[in-house]
A and B are shown apart, each in its own frame.
Chain A
Amino acid sequence: MTEKPNDLDTVPTQDGLILEEPIEKARHPFMEAWDMFRRNHAALVALMILVLIILGAVFGPSLYGRDPFDMVWAPFTPPGQNTDFLFGTDYLGRDLLAMIISGARVSIIIGLAAAFVSVFIGVTIGALAGYYRGWVEEVLMRFTEFFQVLPTLLFSMVIVALFGASLPMITFAIGIVSWTAVARITRAEFLRIRELEYVTASRASGARDLKLIFSVILPNALPPIIVQSALMVGSAILFEAGLSFLGLTDPNVVSWGQIIGSNRTYFLDASYTVTLPGVAIFVTILCISLVGDGLNDALNPKLRSR
């Protein structure tokens, strides 16, 4: 908290007493969190890079204007040889920069959507288990454990292979395997918070279960869920990259993993076709992890000393 220059506390009153420091106006919790976040410089820089990447994904394709599927130049033109193709061309002579820009859009959209699906499932299951306890908790946590046993990537490979590689199906396949961590965290928070006095108070004043779950407990359980959700976006992007690297992707769109997968056969001769899209994934995930760390600092100040 920043000290503001304040003359009041040194001004003697008529009784000769010194006035206590005036109570600072309660600040919006969001501002406090932002202050904490700002102190983590790495997270701040990462956030700025991330904003640039997202802006690039949104506006890049129309600004750059080259179709990522067009074969525009000789295949395997390395970066730097032709200024028209900054990142060079791939094995079909497509502009690698256009592909990476266009891939950003798909990778980020799938990352966000899949993270949304898994957070939705995870919060629902975790909240119900933590709130109702008893047999509900038993059943739901067994269900969660069951999903933890399935090797995530293989399970989504199976779903995509059996039901088709459309973008919604890929999103669903990633979301359905990644919610277990969210469920565990949510449940732990609910177990803790449901015993607190203000929850007992609102229950005593007649609040119903749904109200208690969604407007009393959930808002207070949010901080660790938000941190986890941020990290989920990163792991969903990685996951999508893995699937499309294996060729389990919608053939009508370009994504980062798919660029690597399709150029993989030639990487010993033209390693930049693999390296460059990989750097795009790497930087994005790195930034998301750093922002996640920053969020953790901002939302759980108690953990800061660790």
Chain B
Amino acid sequence: MNFLRVTITRLAYAALLLVAVLILNFTLMHLAPGDVADTIAQSAGGIDAEALEQIRREYGLDQPFIVQLGSYVGRMLQFDLGYSFFYSQPVTDLILDRLPATLLLVIAAQVLALVVGVVFGVISARKPNGIFSHFVTLASLIGYSAPVFWTGLLMLVMFSLILPWFPVAGMRDVTIENGNIFIHTVDVARHLVLPMVTLASIFVALYSRLSRASMIEVLGSDYVRTAKAKGLQTNQVVYKHALKNAISPVITLAGLQLSAVVSGAVLVEAVFSWPGLGSLAFQSIIARDTPTILGILFFSSLVVIVGNQLTDLALRLVDPRVGSKK
């Protein structure tokens, strides 16, 4: 019962956040120089002032701010994100077309970073002054300090040019025409490797550092000593008893990093021409396609909000104390 109530509260809060993003979006659009009518005029190659007024009236641009805001939020919540005059397509279609690629990249990279980070952290926590521990510290410093787009370009030079193991760009090989689902999956996976590793490289650092610190703390606690004293095997103590408690802060951090992961994905997509929201954002910013840009901001915030909810759920499953505190 409690679980249900907490879930409903969280969902209502998430919905509020989403509306807040919409209000911000609209305010930005309103403040920015130029409006939809100008864009239409531009794409039509210039029209006279009377027609411009006509368009403004049709689009409700002569209404007061608050009325416009209301109708905007209403339209957005029905996922009507407007029309892209640059792509001549509704923005929603455009985004839904690109969303899966971004989700695939973001989830793959986040999972990879978490797994590698936690494994690195745990191994180095067991011997805090060992060689491996120093290696992890060094590797995480490097991963954190290198600009992600630069890492990506170096990866391309290394693993596509010098060692031609992976494709240079894109998500699919267009020369594969009638392959079965297996061939296509392998193809996408091969394209995914470099972008995924590049994006993960930033976050491995963060996760391994935190899980190392958190693991060292947990390994020094009384209940771990008890478990050891009972005669349990070290591996069992570390991976079954200690890890369960040590991992909570890492999951919390992973949730907080979601917006950074999505941001990193924008750069990585630009480097690898990965056909996701990031490269769409990149192209529509060059084209000054405001509805698309704001639509992407809305959708990527939605991704982060949903991701946060899932993180929350994961946390409550790992640690039953979390939900009941509030």
User: A157 to B281, Cβ gap below 8 A?
Assistant: yes
Query: What chain A residues lie within 8 Å of B161 (beta carbons)?
Result: 268
User: A306 to B157, Cβ gap below 8 A?
Assistant: no
Instruction: List CB contacts (< 8 Å) of A233-287 with chain B.
Output: 234, 238, 241-242, 245-248, 257, 260, 264, 267-268, 271, 274-275, 278, 281-282, 285-286
Bound-state Cα–Cα, A285 to B256, Å:
22
- Majority-rule SS of B interface residues: helix
User: A153 to B267, Cβ gap below 8 A?
Assistant: yes
Q: With A158-B28, A271-B157 in contact, do A246 and B270 touch (Cβ < 8 Å)?
A: yes
Query: What chain B residues lie within 8 Å of A246 (beta carbons)?
Result: 266-267, 270, 282, 285
User: A274 to B270, Cβ gap below 8 A?
Assistant: no
Instruction: List CB contacts (< 8 Å) of A155-193 with chain B.
Output: 155, 157-159, 161-163
Judged by a CB distance under 8 angstroms, whether A146 is at the interface is: yes
User: B281 to A154, Cβ gap below 8 A?
Assistant: yes
Query: What chain A residues lie within 8 Å of B100 (beta carbons)?
Result: none
Judged by a CB distance under 8 angstroms, whether A29 is at the interface is: no
Smallest CB gap from A306: residue in B: B213
Judged by a CB distance under 8 angstroms, whether B237 is at the interface is: no
What are 26 A-B pairs at a CB distance below 8 A? Answer: A148-B259, A149-B304, A150-B259, A151-B260, A151-B262, A151-B266, A153-B267, A154-B296, A158-B294, A158-B297, A162-B28, A234-B145, A242-B147, A246-B282, A246-B285, A247-B286, A260-B149, A260-B150, A264-B153, A271-B153, A274-B150, A281-B147, A282-B146, A285-B146, A286-B141, A306-B216
Smallest CB gap from A145: residue in B: B17
Bound-state Cα–Cα, A105 to B272, Å:
29
Bound-state Cα–Cα, A159 to B31, Å:
10
User: B260 to A152, Cβ gap below 8 A?
Assistant: yes
Query: What chain B residues lie within 8 Å of A161 (beta carbons)?
Result: 285, 288, 293
Query: What chain A residues lie within 8 Å of B213 (beta carbons)?
Result: 306
Judged by a CB distance under 8 angstroms, whether A290 is at the interface is: yes
Q: What is the 8 Å Cβ interface bit string for chain B, positions 294-319, against chain A (1 contact, 0 not)?
A: 10110011001100100000000000
Instruction: List CB contacts (< 8 Å) of B216-269 with chain A.
Output: 216, 256, 259-260, 262-264, 266-267
Query: What chain A residues lie within 8 Å of B148 (beta carbons)?
Result: 242
Judged by a CB distance under 8 angstroms, whether A77 is at the interface is: no
Q: With A154-B262, A154-B266, A260-B149 in contact, do A149 and B21 touch (Cβ < 8 Å)?
A: yes
Smallest CB gap from B284: residue in A: A161
Chain B residues with CB under 8 Å of chain A are: 17, 20-21, 24, 28-29, 31-33, 141-142, 144-150, 153-154, 156-157, 161, 168, 213, 216, 256, 259-260, 262-264, 266-267, 270-271, 281-282, 285-286, 288, 290, 293-294, 296-297, 300-301, 304-305, 308
Judged by a CB distance under 8 angstroms, whether A289 is at the interface is: yes
Q: With A150-B297, A151-B263 in contact, do A278 and B285 touch (Cβ < 8 Å)?
A: no
Q: With A148-B259, A163-B32 in contact, do A278 and B21 touch (Cβ < 8 Å)?
A: no
Instruction: Kindly list 11 other residue pairs between chains A and B, CB separation below 8 angstroms, not including A152-B259, A154-B300.
Output: A146-B20, A149-B304, A150-B301, A150-B304, A158-B28, A158-B294, A162-B290, A241-B147, A242-B147, A247-B286, A285-B145
User: B262 to A278, Cβ gap below 8 A?
Assistant: no
User: A151 to B145, Cβ gap below 8 A?
Assistant: no
A151 contacts which of B28, B31, B297 (Cβ < 8 Å)?
B297
Bound-state Cα–Cα, A104 to B236, Å:
51
Bound-state Cα–Cα, A257 to B271, Å:
13
- Top-10 shortest CB links A-B: A153-B263, A278-B150, A162-B32, A285-B145, A151-B262, A286-B145, A161-B285, A151-B259, A151-B300, A151-B263
